[in-house]
Amino acid sequence: MDLQEHYNSMYDNAVRRFKEGACEPDAWIDAAGDSRMGLTLRLRPDRQVVNRIQHFLNAARELEPNQYFYGEENIHVTVLSIISCYPGFSVSDIVVADYVKAINESLVGIGPFNLTFRGITASPSCIMVQGFMEDDALEVLRQRLRANIAKSGLEESMDKRYTLQTAHATVLRLKQKMENRDGLLQLLDKYRNNDWGRSSVTEVELVLNDWYHQPDRTSVLKRIPLLE
């Protein structure tokens, strides 16, 4: 897959939908009683990258203050959604050590790697920072995880929604219709090709998370270093 072409297609479709007034707000954000939880392996961009993203989000917040903005604590790239969020899932339903074992097996020979964050893309419901792989380390890790977790017989719902092939970070979700659509579109255009920086990935996190990785509902179960 040509990743830039994929991001371009997403962006063009989303902007068209925004201009038509056909955005897709997420009615579940802040909903009382949302018990959807899941299990995710994720990575975190470097602090300098996150700081630059927050500068963009501060500008977006001035235009659309009632949307949902990701903070420093929950901006991430999903390595793999192992158990997609569903109502009532609890960490007591699984043996965390079994998943850590499968992850460690998948990481053999995969040392630290780099991701470059450049530009933004979008869907009708959210804004994302584009991430690009500098080598095949992330894709190899994903393929190994799929194989090792599947053969282990552990609970999983990998790739049920779609097969993850990108390295994006979702940074803004729509909670309601846009109040300043033209202003936000101008901001998106300004940051369309912005250089957010390069991140060295030295560890991954296995987390119990809600749909939005909200800090008060997300628990880091295990941090796993990528060894040289």
Please report, for the chain, the start and end positions of each structural domain, with discontinuous segments joined by +: 3-29+36-211
Half-sphere exposure of 165 (CA within 13 A, CB side): 9
State the sign of the Cα–Cα–Cα–Cα dihedral 116, 122, 125, 126. positive
Contact (Cβ atoms closer than 8 angstroms) between residue 93 and residue 155: yes
With residue 116 as reference, give the H or E element that holds it. strand 113-123
Q: What is the chain's pLDDT, residue by residue, as a tens digit (228 residues)?
A: 799 999 999 999 999 999 999 999 998 998 888 999 999 999 999 999 999 999 999 999 999 999 999 999 999 999 999 999 999 999 999 999 999 999 999 999 999 999 999 999 999 999 999 999 999 999 999 999 999 999 999 999 886 655 678 999 999 999 999 999 999 999 999 999 999 999 999 999 999 999 999 999 999 999 999 987
pTM: 0.95
Homologous superfamily assigned to 3-29+36-211: Cyclic phosphodiesterase (3.90.1140.10)
d(CA 107, CA 123): 31
